[in-house]
């Protein structure tokens, strides 16, 4: 009895100590990040973005996630040499650093004006789609991936009068999450944190004829069995399920970085979604189609994607089923 009570007390103390240490680490990281933000604000926009890029390319290879990125790149591009893989990983770190620094300068970066006579930092393709979606009194789903500065897409939507609610995943660090959320809300309109019940909130928006924006290129444990770059992965079925239930148009949208700290924002033609024999949207086929679209984008410029995300990790239960099936086939 005394031994059990002692062990329980020790676990409780370890949990409390670990939680406080984690909070301290979050605070320390946030202070360092805010100091860097303060330094970058002292520089002109282009100088700040280029500086962040250079630093990240030097520091990135020393971060643990660099090994994850390199392993993922080797899975996706088995034909590429190690020097080519490392070059893509370096571009990725530069892209991620620019994305972080661009939060500071969102107002200055997005200078698109439909009436402007000369090009600015941002060019837009698929203007007709922006205007059409904004003008239609029915629900739409717009999806994208972690490419370029994907945060500029909701800003562009607001410019064309499009009422859209963007689903986003807050950082684990609560101090950074507060800063990023306040920055996003000031420029991007409605935001919905990715959490339990988010799918019901998205459904409620579509039910009222609203528009939603979703990132679809992350791992989703226990999701649908799909492929990405020809390799098995798990994907969130929520977009396909919502498209089936509301039978609404689904548009791909992306941001591409251009030379000189410029951007191209694009909404492509709406997708022709696969259907079941009964005529309803095929959820599994739609989910795979989204992966295929994102893969096409990534292949066009792999250095602009977030390779350190563990996209091909399979959840334990499905991994066990697959291993058992493979053993059965071998027997």
Please return the burial class of 159, using the count of CB atoms within 10 Å of its CB with bins 0-12, 13-18 and 19+. middle
pLDDT at 169 over 60: yes
Residues 6+ apart with CB under 8 A from 35: none
Mean pLDDT check: name the lowest of 77-86, 126-135, 183-192, 280-289. Answer: 183-192
- Give the pLDDT of residue 184: 59
The candidate with the shortest Cα–Cα distance to 228, out of 280, 170, 293, 285, is: 293
Tens digit of each residue's pLDDT (9 = 90 or more) over 105-115:
887 888 998 88
| Consecutive H or E run containing 146 | none
Of residues 78 and 220, more confidently modeled: 78
In the sheet that 211-215 helps form, which strands lie side by side, from edge to edge? 122-125, 262-267, 249-258, 140-144, 211-215, 164-168, 190-193
pLDDT at 95 over 50: yes
Domain ranges of the chain: 2-102, 119-319
Tokens read off for 266: 């694009």
Tens digit of each residue's pLDDT (9 = 90 or more) over 212-264:
999 999 888 899 999 999 999 999 999 999 999 999 999 999 999 999 999 99
Q: Report the share of the chain in percent with pLDDT over 70.
A: 80
Q: Give mean pLDDT, residues 179-202.
A: 68
> 267 with 253: CB under 8 angstroms?
yes
CA distance 243 to 203: 10
- Give the pLDDT of residue 316: 65
- Give the pLDDT of residue 314: 87
Q: What is the pTM of this model?
A: 0.84
Helices 82-102 and 45-59, axial angle in degrees (round to 10)? 140
Task: Fill in the DSSP letter of residue 331.
Answer: -
Q: Give mean pLDDT, residues 301-314.
A: 94
pLDDT at 209 over 80: yes
CA distance 184 to 177: 10
CA distance 167 to 116: 31
Q: Give mean pLDDT, residues 132-150.
A: 94
Contacts 24+ apart (CB under 8 A), 42-45: 45/105, 45/108, 45/109, 45/261
pLDDT at 38 over 90: no
Of residues 205 and 15, more confidently modeled: 205
Q: Give mean pLDDT, residues 181-193.
A: 61
The candidate with the shortest Cα–Cα distance to 280, out of 234, 237, 248, is: 248
CA distance 227 to 235: 9
The candidate with the shortest Cα–Cα distance to 293, out of 273, 307, 308, 313, is: 273
Please return the burial class of 171, using the count of CB atoms within 10 Å of its CB with bins 0-12, 13-18 and 19+. middle
CA distance 301 to 258: 11
Which residue matches tokens 């040499």? 81
């Amino acid at each position: 009895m005394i031994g059990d009570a002692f062990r329980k007390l020790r676990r409780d103390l370890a949990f409390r100590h670990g939680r406080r240490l984690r909070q301290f680490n979050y605070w320390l990281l946030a202070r360092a990040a805010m100091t860097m933000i303060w330094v970058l604000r002292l520089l002109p926009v282009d100088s700040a973005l280029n500086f962040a890029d250079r630093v990240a390319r030097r520091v990135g290879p020393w971060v643990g996630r660099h090994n994850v990125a390199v392993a993922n790149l080797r899975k996706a591009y088995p034909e590429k040499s190690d020097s080519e893989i490392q070059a893509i990983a370096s571009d990725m770190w530069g892209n991620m650093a620019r994305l972080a620094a661009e939060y500071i300068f969102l107002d200055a970066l997005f200078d698109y004006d439909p009436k402007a006579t000369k090009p600015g930092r941002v060019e837009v393709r698929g203007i007709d789609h922006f205007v059409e979606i904004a003008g239609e009194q029915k629900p739409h789903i717009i999806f994208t991936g972690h490419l370029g500065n994907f945060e500029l897409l909701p800003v562009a939507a607001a410019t064309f009068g499009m009422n859209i609610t963007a689903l986003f995943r807050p950082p684990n660090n609560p101090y950074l999450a507060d800063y990023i959320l306040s920055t996003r809300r000031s420029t991007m309109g409605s935001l919905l944190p990715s959490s339990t019940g988010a799918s019901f909130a998205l459904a409620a928006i579509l039910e009222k004829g609203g528009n939603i924006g979703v990132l679809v290129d992350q791992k989703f444990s226990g999701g649908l069995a799909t492929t990405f770059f020809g390799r098995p992965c798990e994907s969130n079925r929520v977009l396909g399920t919502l498209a089936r239930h509301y039978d609404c148009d689904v548009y791909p949208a992306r941001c591409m970085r251009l030379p000189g700290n410029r951007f191209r924002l694009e909404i492509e033609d709406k997708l022709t979604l696969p259907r079941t024999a009964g005529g309803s949207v095929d959820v599994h086929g739609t989910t795979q189609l989204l992966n295929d679209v994102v893969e096409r984008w990534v292949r066009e410029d792999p250095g602009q994607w977030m390779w350190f995300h563990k996209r091909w990790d399979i959840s334990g239960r499905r991994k066990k089923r697959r291993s058992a099936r493979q053993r059965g086939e071998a027997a």
